[in-house]
């Protein structure tokens, strides 16, 4: 039991174990966890090349989805 209390008393910045932070989440109450996870992240900076690649991927996914729907509809008849 003292190990659990000691682990909860340490701050995440002094812990060298990368898996220690998820254990600290267990000590939070439900509203603390909700308010902590509801903090929005700032927008990621994307290069122009990466932005274009993501738009191409979106168009590809929509095109493949349309082909799947068309194939399904044709196979029904």
d(CA 36, CA 34): 5
Q: Domain range for residue 13?
A: 2-37
pLDDT digits (tens, 9 = 90+) for 2-61: 444 444 444 444 445 555 566 666 777 777 777 777 788 888 899 999 999 999 999 999
Would you state the pLDDT for residue 39? 80
Predicted structure pTM score: 0.49
Whether 32 and 48 share a structural domain: no
7 CB-near residues (< 8 Å, 6+ apart): 20, 23, 24
d(CA 25, CA 34): 11
How many structural domains comprise the chain?
2
Whether 49 and 65 share a structural domain: yes
pLDDT digits (tens, 9 = 90+) for 21-37: 666 667 777 777 777 77
Would you state the pLDDT for residue 63? 98
Instruction: Determine the average pLDDT of the residues in 59-74.
Output: 97
Whether 32 and 50 share a structural domain: no
């Amino acid at each position: 039991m003292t190990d659990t209390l000691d682990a909860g008393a340490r701050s995440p910045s002094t812990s060298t174990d990368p898996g220690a932070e998820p254990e600290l989440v267990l000590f939070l109450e439900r509203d603390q966890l909700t308010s902590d996870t509801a903090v929005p992240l700032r927008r990621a900076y994307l290069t122009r090349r990466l932005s274009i690649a993501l738009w191409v991927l979106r168009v590809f996914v929509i095109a493949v989805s349309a082909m799947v729907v068309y194939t399904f509809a044709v196979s029904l008849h």
